[in-house]
Amino acid sequence: MFLQHSVRGLITKRFFAQGMTAQRNFGSLVSTAELASSLDQVKVLDGSWHMPNANRDPYQEFLQQHIPGARFFGIDEIKDTTVNLPHMLPTPEVFAEAVGNLGISEKDQVVVYDSVGIFSATRVYWTFKAFGHQNISVLNGGLQKWIKEGRPTETGATNFSAVKYAVPTLNKQLVRDYAQVLENARQGGKPAQVLDARPHARFTGEAPEPRPGLSSGHMPGSISIPFNVVIQDGELLDTEKLRDIFVSRGVDLDKEIVTSCGSGITASTLYFALEQVGAKNVAVYDGSWTEYADKKDSIIEKDQ
């Protein structure tokens, strides 16, 4: 690997106790300054992912430029390969093996970023949380802010050794499946509030889905909150603005919430934003619209 800028003097601040404990020391959202002063105390993951029609290869982009010491977390590789859906959660065994092979243990503090700012990194964050890894944070502004600030980057593959990651237990409270959201739809969108992160025109049915053969529209009773409304210039809005966005759209933060999107990526962005404003009962519909709209018994509404 080739270090593009000197990192001498970069790592000065310490956030963690000797030996690394399971106690959380970072918040779930960290700044570029926090990460820059702690690169030797955390494991950094590049969780970049792009829509298929973007014709971009996130791993090749990682090899061209990444934060020093970062490892690449392949959302489309570390997944359930037994289903015909884009990137469903892997089994606990597959997750443990994949993360251990990235040189990460269940006790490590992990900071994940993506090349957009706040986008697919939140999917990796939610994946770790679903498997009980609490020491996980998202880099606010991502790689683009890191580069804009003139911070060091590397090229090529990162050298590290695999470690043992204990097989975790899936926290089912953070995940919803098709049967659960279908029953919720049959009850008119109750008891769970379903927040849909897709663009509003796809929610209403005015615009088509990017995946061929899928109808646009929405689940009965669901609420449209396009993921980009919680982000500005690649960074997450502050908690006061986030709270205003959710409350103004009729979301009760004290009640059950399920987030959904096209394939589970930006649903995780809403999940992450809801965490920031203190919502406690939040889950992601893993299959999201790609699964839901493909089912013959799904209930789809359009605003026409």
**What are the residue ranges of helices labelled H in the chain?**
32-36, 58-64, 92-101, 121-130, 142-148, 178-186, 200-204, 239-248, 266-276, 288-292
SS3 assignment, position 223: strand
SS3 assignment, position 295: coil
201 neighbors 228 (Cβ within 8 angstroms): no
SS3 assignment, position 8: coil
101-140 burial: b if 16+ Cβ within 10 Å, else e: ebbbebebbbbbbbbbbbbbbbbbbbbbbbbebebbbbbb
Say what angle helices 239-248 and 266-276 make with each other, to 10 degrees: 110
Cα 9 → chain centroid: 31
Instruction: Report the amino acid identity of residue 176.
Output: R
DSSP 6: -
Burial class of residue 150 in the structure, from the number of CB atoms within 10 Å of its CB (0-12 exposed, 13-18 middle, 19+ buried): exposed
152 neighbors 68 (Cβ within 8 angstroms): yes
67-94 burial: b if 16+ Cβ within 10 Å, else e: bbbbbbbbbeebbeeeeebbbbbbebee
Residue with tokens 């009962």: 281
SS3 assignment, position 232: strand
Is residue 261 part of the annotated active site? The answer reads yes
Active-site residue, from 261, 265, 277, 284 = 261
Tell me which residues are annotated as active site: 261
